[in-house]
Chain A
C-alpha cells in the first residue's frame, strides 16, 4: 500500500542552524501538508501546498519557514534559523484532493534544537 515517507526520522541541530525536512508524498496525491507536534501538545497545522504554491498557512508559519517541491516527488520544509521552540515532531501529509479527502500522514521527523 502506498505511504508517505519522511527523512530523517530524527535530527539534532544547534540553535540558529538551518534544517531541511524531507517528505515523499503518495505519488498521485495533489495536496501536501506540514504539521508539527510539540511534546505533550496538540498537533498543529503549519502549511498546505497545491499546484506548486502555498494554499494556506498558519500563524506559526512565519518567515523562517519555507516549503518547496523541488522535483516531482519530494516535498520539503526548511527552517532557516532554528530556535529552541522549534523542537517538535514534524509530520508531512498528503491527500488526493482537498477538503473532504483523507489525509495520509508520514511517520514524522523528530527535531531537537539545542
Chain B
C-alpha cells in the first residue's frame, strides 16, 4: 500500500531552536509537497520538490529519492511557526492525487 509516514507526531521547541521534521514514503514518487496547516484549518503550500533541496526564508526542504525520505528544517524557530506541518506525495502512476502524512504538530514556546 502506498503510504506516507511522518515523524515526530508532536514537537515542542524553544524559540530559536533548529527544527527537523521527517517524512518517508513507501514507493516511487513524482513529487513531494510540504504543507502548513494553521489552527483554523487552512492549508498553505510551503514547498514542492522532486529532487535536491529548496530554501525559502528560514525554511529548508530536502529530499533523497533513493532513500525515499524528505526533511523539513526550520532555522531560528519562532512562536509564529507553531502549526501542523504535513508531508504529501504524488506517487508515480497516480497522476495528481496527493497522499498525505498524518502531520507533525509543532509548538514553539517563547
Contact = CB atoms under 8 A, between A and B. Distances in A.
A55 interface: yes
Nearest to B88: A43
Interface stretch (A18-26, A64-72, A102-110): A102-110
A31 B90 CA distance: 14
Contacts, number: 65
Contact of B45 (A31, A33, A102): A102
A107 B43 CA distance: 7
A103 B86 contact: no
Interface residues of A, number: 27
A58 interface: yes
Nearest to B101: A42
Interface string A83-95: 0000001010001
A16 B23 CA distance: 39
28 contacts: A33-B96, A37-B41, A41-B102, A42-B103, A43-B43, A45-B97, A45-B99, A45-B100, A48-B96, A48-B97, A55-B95, A55-B96, A56-B94, A56-B95, A58-B97, A98-B95, A99-B31, A99-B90, A99-B95, A100-B31, A100-B90, A101-B48, A102-B45, A105-B35, A107-B40, A107-B42, A108-B42, A110-B41
Given A45-B100, A95-B96, 6 more contacts: A33-B96, A42-B102, A44-B100, A100-B48, A108-B41, A108-B42
Interface of B: 30-31, 33, 35, 40-45, 48, 50, 86, 88, 90, 94-103
Interface of A: 31, 33, 35, 37, 41-45, 48, 55-56, 58, 89, 91, 95, 98-105, 107-108, 110
